Structure 1
């Protein structure tokens, strides 16, 4: 890769993430971290507002932008395939957002790349999430974003029904099945709920803040600890 291309890719990678480490950039671009440090310093000298420092990470300052990226035909095809497959497994609002974003990207492509992408013979037929599950997923996803509690009716795998008030923490896709990770106020503990088994959901007016022991990061640490214990037990 030419150095000019590498510098361009560094900017694109940094602006696509909240915080980007030199190790990540080095791995993606297949160069040493020392090379990344030199490239970052050169970009900063050229006036690119890259903020951060070695050993911590980098981000792009506000107000900086580049002309639209010129995707290759293979990259454009990958975007089209990704959106087509994702749409049938997303909620309506997110699905429409993905389609709108793809349209904006295709509109700035060179004609040959756009034609190749739109002619891609890769499709995802309807039949992904049922309409009721789509609606529940959208409500839960928006509640996660707004940090707003939800009330749900839930029917578990044993067909037992329960009512819960939850702090929704994140939605996870497992291939045909979405789950909600949440702090359950009835159980005073973390719980996971299959979205397709939520029979009723309502966002509440009450918002919540992060509290020690009740965050998504706490849940991730707990899951990692449980995985290690199971690994040692085996």
Structure 2
């Protein structure tokens, strides 16, 4: 392994492993002695990486905007293309547009050889039967999830029954070829999943539920795992 490859592997290890990472762990990851590891840490700092820590404590990588961009290997590039193409094929129009923009930015920033591979990737994604488009503004809904604000909307279930709901929006997912919202429903006082193509008249409210989103979402995922998805998903 060349020194450049080793430094790249060291950066990846510090990104991937829980911080702070001990010198012994990093040395094992990169296949060098701890003495060499300390020299490699010094080399990365000299290249512009901001790395907190010291011998006997552990190291934490802080990304530095002045650090030269690191490259991707071939499978990482293929994974990026496949993921972004899948978003193009499945997402709402605003998110599909963002996926196309992200792919164009990647092509512009990569070295020519890798940009060529990105343009001619082996993997791609196409759906002959894409999900039904949302009947509400999905971009606004994503914003409400991020900002942890209540939303109100009209909903019609699979049997055609109409209700008005106020919920704490937690996350969006693709389920059974439908875009769905995972939420805590104030009407039912429980978790519910709503199809975006059955929602109408959505309004984002001023009422905040911060910082409940992550704990609530974890609770939903725990229930799904315990019940193997049979009862937790109700559309």
Query: TM-score under structure 1 normalisation?
Result: 0.71
Structure 1: 5+ residue stretches without partners? 25-31
Shift of 1:194: 2.0
Q: Residue 35 of structure 1 aligns with which residue? A: 28
Matches of 2:59 and 2:134, distance apart in 1 = 42
Please give the secondary structure, in 1, of the residue aligned with 2:90. coil
Task: Find 1:128's aligned residue among 104, 127, 130.
Answer: 130
Change (3 A) 1:101 1:9: farther
Gaps of 5+ in 2: none
Match of 1:8 in 2: 8
Deviation at 1:168, TM superposition (A): 0.5
RMSD: 3.8
Contact preservation (8 Å) 2:27, 2:37: no
> Cα deviation per residue 1:29-75 (whole Å; 9 max; x = unaligned)?
xxx7761495875554443433479xxx9753253553223335554
Please give the alpha-carbon distance, in whole angstroms, between the structure 1 residues aligned to 2:52 and 2:29. 14
CA contact (8 A) 2:14 2:61 kept: yes
Report matched runs for 1:55-204 at 5 Å.
Answer: 59-63=60-64, 65-72=66-73, 75-120=76-121, 122=124, 124=126, 128-133=130-135, 135-174=136-175, 176-204=177-205
Conserved? CA contact 2:148–2:210, under 8 Å: yes
Contact kept in structure 2, 1:155 and 1:162, CA below 8 Å? yes
1:223 aligns with 2:233: no
Number of residues paired by the alignment? 216
Q: Cα deviations across residues 68-120 of structure 1 (Å, max 9, x unaligned)?
A: 23335554344333322211212333222222221121113333432343234
Q: Name which of 2, 18, 33 aligns with 1:21.
A: 18
Q: In the TM superposition, what is the alpha-carbon distance from 1:177 to its structure 2 partner? A: 2.0
Q: 1:166 offset after TM fit, Å?
A: 0.4
**Counterpart-to-counterpart distance in 1, 2:121 and 2:191:** 43
Q: Which runs of 4+ in 1 moved over 6 A?
A: none
